[in-house]
Structure 1
Amino acid sequence: MIPYRKDSPLRMHYLWSLREDTAVGWDAEGRTLVLSGPQGMERIEDPTTAVAETLHRMELGPIRLANLLGPKDGAASGAEAYTLVLSVLREISHLVIRTLSLEDLKGPVLSVVPAGPAARFTLVRLPAQRSVRLRPNVTITLEGNVFLLECRALDHRVQIHRPEAMWVVSLLAWPTTPDALIQVLPIPAELTLEILGHLAGAGMTVSGG
Structure 2
Amino acid sequence: MRIGTGHRVLHLWSLSEDVVVEHRANGAMVVRGRWGAEWIDRPVPAVREALRRMELGPVLLANVETGKRGGGGPGRERAGQGTGQGRKPGPGQKQGPGQGPGEGRGRRRSDGPDQGRLIMMRVVGRLSHLIVRTLGVDDLRGPLLSVSPVARTGSFVPAPLPEETPVRLPADAVLTPWRSGFTLERADARYRVVLHRPEAVWVLGMLAWPVTPEAASAGLPLPREMTREILAYLAAAEMLAPAGERAGLRVG
Fold agreement, TM-score > 0.5: yes
Equivalent residue in structure 2 for 1:109, among 144, 165, 170: 144
Q: Distance in 2 between matches of 1:24 and 1:114?
A: 18
Correspondence for 1:9: 6
TM-score relative to the length of structure 1: 0.91
C-alpha displacement of 1:7: 4.5
Correspondence for 2:229: 194
Q: Distance in 1 between matches of 2:17 and 2:171?
A: 28
Q: Does 1:62 align with 2:58?
A: yes
C-alpha displacement of 1:200: 0.3
C-alpha displacement of 1:177: 0.5
**8 Å contact 1:65–1:82 — kept in the other structure?**
no
Q: Distance in 1 between matches of 2:178 and 2:241?
A: 25
Equivalent residue in structure 2 for 1:18, among 15, 18, 26: 15
C-alpha displacement of 1:8: 3.9
How many aligned positions are there? 203
C-alpha displacement of 1:125: 1.4
Q: Structure 2 matches for 1:125-144, cutoff 5 A? A: 125-144=160-179
What percent identity do the matched residue pairs reach? Answer: 41
C-alpha displacement of 1:30: 3.2
Q: Does 1:181 align with 2:181?
A: no
Larger Rg: 2
| Worse-matched range after superposition: 197-206 or 64-73 | 64-73
* Unmatched 5+ stretches in structure 1: 1-5
More helix by share: 1
State the Cα deviation string for residues 11-37 of structure 1 (Å, max 9, x = none): 11111000000000113x332211112
Q: 1:83/1:163 Cα in 2 relative to 1: closer, same or farther (>3 Å)?
A: same
Q: Distance in 2 between matches of 1:67 and 1:113?
A: 22
Correspondence for 1:3: none
Query: Higher relative contact order at CA 8 Å, sep ≥6: structure 1 or structure 2?
Result: 1
For residue 90 of structure 1, what is the amino acid of its counterpart? G
**8 Å contact 1:156–1:202 — kept in the other structure?**
yes
TM-score relative to the length of structure 2: 0.76
Q: 1:132/1:186 Cα in 2 relative to 1: closer, same or farther (>3 Å)?
A: same
C-alpha displacement of 1:39: 2.1
Equivalent residue in structure 2 for 1:118, among 153, 156, 174: 153
Q: Distance in 2 between matches of 1:188 and 1:79?
A: 33
Correspondence for 2:39: 43
Q: Does 1:160 align with 2:195?
A: yes
For residue 23 of structure 2, what is the amino acid of its counterpart? W
Q: Does 1:82 align with 2:121?
A: no
Correspondence for 2:101: none
Q: 1:65/1:35 Cα in 2 relative to 1: closer, same or farther (>3 Å)?
A: same
C-alpha displacement of 1:197: 0.3
More strand by share: 1
Q: Distance in 1 between matches of 2:114 and 2:10?
A: 18
* Unmatched 5+ stretches in structure 2: 74-103, 245-252
Q: Distance in 2 between matches of 1:141 and 1:45?
A: 41
Tell me how large the CA RMSD over aligned residues is: 1.7
